[in-house]
Amino acid sequence: MMECRASVDAVLFDMDGVLVDTESQYTSFWTDEGRRYFPEDMDFAVRLKGQTLTRIFELYFPNDELSQQAIKGRLESFEQQMSYPLYAGGMELVTSLRKRGIKVAVVTSSNRAKMSCLYATHPYFIKQFDRVFTAEDFAHSKPDPDPYLTAARYFGLGPESCVVIEDSLGGVRSGQAAGMPVIGVATTLPAQTLQPYCSLVVPGIHCLTVDDINKVLTLCKGD
């Protein structure tokens, strides 16, 4: 049973599709890879959202070192050429949370090499957060709860005092499995797809305030 609290201690943000508008670019990349390797699978790109590259290889390319290296090389080249536009309102929300003494972290399935590309475009990004967790920090990737539980442990907090903000199905399931209230951002998937796993679903990060985030703790979706 999820405990009700009056205020949040930490907000844990997914990155792509929540703070950074890159999901459509990744969908294009993985759609092309799906056509290359699994032409009969029309939903290949959708199922990969929120997964680390290591997990994708484990699921779809086990023991296929040649394909793994080819995909990794194409992905690294793609990420170096990507644009990394920030969603309006995201960093403003982060600033508002920090002003109230609330911890903020990014919990992303992206690896450190990709994050270096983001930092090259937005050098100040990493400085806005208490911690940025990447794929290398987790034993298991989303939808496993490990990424969000790892972040909570870092801050010395229980799951009930953290709120997750996510856009992918794997991400919202990860937050829910960690025992945390989840806010879904319907930038990647329809709101009705996210709703069963979330206390609140909004069209975009710009719609959220600190008070909205505190309110989800009183909804106790886990009761």
**pLDDT at residue 7, rounded to an integer:** 78
Q: For the whole model, what pTM was predicted?
A: 0.88
For 10-22+84-219, the fitting CATH number among 3.40.190.10, 3.40.50.1000, 3.10.20.520, 3.90.1150.10 is 3.40.50.1000
DSSP track, 145-206: SHHHHHHHHHHT--GGGEEEEE-SHHHHHHHHHTT--EEEETTSS-HHHHGGG-SEEESSGG
Name the nearest CA neighbour of 92 among 15, 6, 19, 148.
19
Distance CA 141, CA 134 (A): 10
Distance of CA 69 to the CA centre of its chain: 24
First-to-last C-alpha distance (Å) of the chain: 5
pLDDT in tens, 180-202: 999 999 998 899 999 999 999 99
Checking if the pLDDT of 48 tops 80, the result is yes
Q: What is the pLDDT, as a whole number, of residue 221?
A: 42
% of the chain at pLDDT higher than 70: 95
pLDDT tens figures, 91-142: 999 999 999 999 999 999 999 999 999 999 999 999 999 999 999 999 998 9
Q: Which has the closest alpha carbon to 216: 182, 174, 191?
A: 182
pLDDT at position 5 is: 55
Domain range summary for the chain, segments of one domain joined by +? 10-22+84-219, 23-81
109: tokens are 């399935």
pLDDT on residue 3: 53
Name the one residue in this structure whose structure tokens are 């960093």.
Answer: 91
Q: Strand order of the sheet with strand 182-185?
A: 131-133, 103-107, 10-13, 162-166, 182-185, 200-202
